[in-house]
């Protein structure tokens, strides 16, 4: 698990955080953080018909080791800046 994700998981239960998604990347990976603390993620899927959001949730579920249905985009579905909630 990436260090930035480990810090998030140590907090509240459930927890929400902001992400900036960069779609159409070579692979799914954590690319760092922005100055305001927003987590930057590269996602391989294209931003069409919810594919990038679905892959984002699947990627984060794998990183946090929780079922896929416990990760959801709660704000910013059509924006590169999103708010994601994870329920461990």
Task: Give tens-digit pLDDT for 31-61.
Answer: 999 999 899 999 999 999 999 999 999 999 9
pLDDT attached to residue 2: 67
Whole-number mean pLDDT of the chain? Answer: 90
Average pLDDT over residues 63-71: 93
From CA 25, how far away is CA 42, in angstroms rounded? 6
Look up the domain containing 37 and give its range.
3-86
Structure tokens at 42: 């590269």
> What is the pTM for the complete model shown?
0.88
Number of structural domains in the chain: 1
Beta bridge partners of 40: 20, 32
From CA 64, how far away is CA 10, in angstroms rounded? 11
- Cβ neighbours for 45, distance < 8 A, ≥ 6 positions apart: 23, 24, 51, 52, 54, 55, 56
Q: Please, are residues 85 and 72 in contact by the beta-carbon 8 Å criterion?
A: yes
Instruction: Assess whether pLDDT exceeds 80 at residue 71.
Output: yes
From CA 13, how far away is CA 35, in angstroms rounded? 25
CATH number of the domain residue 50 falls in: 3.30.1200.10
Average pLDDT over residues 1-15: 71
């Amino acid at each position: 698990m990436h260090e930035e994700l480990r810090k998030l998981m140590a907090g509240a239960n459930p927890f929400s955080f902001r992400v900036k998604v960069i779609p159409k990347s070579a692979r799914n990976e954590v690319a760092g953080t922005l100055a305001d603390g927003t987590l930057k993620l590269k996602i391989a899927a294209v931003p069409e018909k919810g594919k990038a959001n679905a892959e984002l949730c699947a990627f984060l579920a794998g990183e946090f080791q929780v079922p896929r249905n416990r990760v959801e985009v709660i704000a910013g579905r059509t924006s590169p800046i999103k708010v994601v909630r994870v329920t461990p």
